[in-house]
Amino acid sequence: MPTNLFDLTGRTALITGSSRGLGRAFAEGLASAGARVVLNGVNTERLEQAAAEMREAGHDVLISAFDVADEAAVIAAFEAFDTAGTEIDILVNNAGIQFRKPMLELETEDWRRVIDINLTAAFVVGREAARRMAGRGRGKVVNIGSLTSELARATVAPYTVAKGGVKMLTKAMAAEWGEKGIQANAIGPGYMVTDMNEALTSNPEFDAWVKGRTPMRRWGLPEELAGTCIYLASDASNYVSGQIIYADGGMISVL
Ligand code: GCO
């Protein structure tokens, strides 16, 4: 038994969509547990800024700019990791977007974009990472679900469908990759204070609804998800696979 089951020293973690928001918090959490982290996003300037801030705090940080929804770019990024000898031990499939519109007004193109980025990209990046993890006989995949992995909310249908898919993708990964030494799990965040949710946090009615509906009576902070991510990325969860853990202040457990 290692002395610290949560120690990630010597591991490298790729976190998609990590220049800000939840992804950044996951990167900070994994780095503080000892991992080298690879930040990803499409805006190189923003990535460099985030990397500089994290290095300032003493973390070991690389950046890899690519669009998770562009399969050729994903494959090229993993080939670049291979060339550089960068082995991704931990993948956090975090990149996501939201698009709020009632279904009767929703264009198919917007539906597809949300599904592509939130769901299909998790499969594509997951496949590329897992092919390499399988060769090494170990790896951790942490997908990011949502309360909408279980429950619908009006105006966010494609996101709901994508996140329901992420829950089942996690189980499919667990089913196929367990024998290769890979554990795949998911985190289901509750309502979090992020840029993506700005339209919700700044809406007094929505704010009151979230606080009324959440047993902890408040929104979650991105850093409050870090511990769950460290757990699922570390040896502490070595016999846990196919699970989605809700970090939601208790919201999904109550009516
Ligand atoms: C929304 C929010 C959601 C929530 C999520 C909680 O627009 O409904 O952005 O994505 O944050 O459902 O898990």
Task: For residue 148, give the ligand 1 atom closest to its CA.
Answer: 12
SS (H, E, C) 166-209: HHHHHHHHHHHHHHHCEEEEEEEECCECCHHHHHHHCCHHHHHH
**Residue whose CA is at the smallest distance from ligand 1 atom 4:** 191
Q: Does the CB atom of residue 191 touch ligand 1 within 6 A?
A: yes
**Residue whose CA is at the smallest distance from ligand 1 atom 11:** 191
Give me the pLDDT at residue 2, please: 65
User: How far apart are the CA of 148 and the centre of ligand 1, in A?
Assistant: 7
pTM to 2 decimals?
0.98
List per-residue pLDDT tens for the chain, 255 residues long: 668 999 999 999 999 999 999 999 999 999 999 999 999 999 999 999 999 999 999 999 999 999 999 999 999 999 999 999 999 999 999 999 999 999 999 999 999 999 999 999 999 999 999 999 999 999 999 999 999 999 999 999 999 999 999 999 999 999 999 999 999 999 999 999 999 999 999 999 999 999 999 999 999 999 999 999 999 999 999 999 999 999 999 999 999
ipTM of the complex: 0.93
Give me the pLDDT at residue 177, please: 98
User: How far apart are the CA of 200 and the centre of ligand 1, in A?
Assistant: 9
Angstrom distance (rounded) from CA 253 to CA 214:
9
Which residue reads 């290769």 in tokens?
180
**Residue whose CA is at the smallest distance from ligand 1 atom 2:** 197
H-run or E-run covering 64 = strand 61-65
H-run or E-run covering 32 = helix 21-32
Is 246 assigned a catalytic role?
A: no
Q: In this structure, are strands 36-41 and 12-15 parallel, antiparallel, or unpaired?
A: parallel
**Using an 8 Å Cβ cutoff, are 44 and 63 in contact?**
yes
Q: Does the CB atom of residue 189 touch ligand 1 within 6 A?
A: yes
Which residues neighbour 212 within 8 Å (Cβ) at sequence distance 6 or greater? none
Q: Does the CB atom of residue 211 touch ligand 1 within 6 A?
A: no
Helix/strand/coil for 249:
coil
Domain architecture of the chain: domains with CATH: 12-245 (3.40.50.720)
144-179 burial, b at 16+ Cβ within 10 Å, e below that, comes to bbbbbbeeeeeebbbbbbbbbbbbebbbebbeebee
Pocket residue to mutate for ligand 1, from 22, 106, 146, 160, most atoms within 8 A of Cβ: 146
Q: Does the CB atom of residue 198 touch ligand 1 within 6 A?
A: no
H-run or E-run covering 142 = strand 139-144
Give me the pLDDT at residue 3, please: 80
Amino acid identity, residue 31? A
> What are the C-alpha distances in Å from 156 to residues 8, 101, 136, 145, 150?
36, 6, 39, 14, 13
Task: Put the strands of the sheet holding 12-15 in their side by side order.
Answer: 61-65, 36-41, 12-15, 90-93, 139-144, 182-189, 244-247
